[in-house]
Amino acid sequence: MFGAAILSVGLLNSAVAELPLLPDAAAYAETASGWLLDGRTLPPDYRVTLLEMSPEARLQTLIFLRRVGLLQADGWALQDILRPAIPAEVTE
C-alpha cells in the first residue's frame, strides 16, 4: 500500500511537470534559460518584472527559476506571489 502511495505521488509530479507554462512565464523561462547557459545570474530587477506578471504566471516562473537553480537565496512572501499584477510603467 505504501508503494502505491509513492507511485501515485510520482505520477502526480510527472503530470504537473508536463503542464504548459503561461505565455509570460514561458517567455521569462526561455530568457532565464539563456542566462543559465551563459553562466549568468538573475538580474537585480527580476522582482519588478515578475510583479508585472499575473499571479499564476509569477508562481510558475518562480517554480521554474527555483528548479533550474537561478533562485536560491531570495524568498518570496505569499502575499507577493499572490499580489495582482502591477502594470509596467508607460514610457512617454
What is the full DSSP assignment across the chain?
Answer: -HHHHHHHHHHHHHHHHTSPPPHHHHHHHHHHHHHHHTT----TTHHHHHHTS-HHHHHHHHHHHHHHTS-SS----HHHHHSPPPPPPPP-
- Tell me the mean pLDDT in the region 67-89: 90
Cell numbers linked to 85: 499584477
Task: Say what the pLDDT of residue 4 is.
Answer: 47
Q: What does the pLDDT look like over 41-70, one tens digit per residue?
A: 999 999 999 999 999 999 999 999 999 999
Stated pTM of the model: 0.74
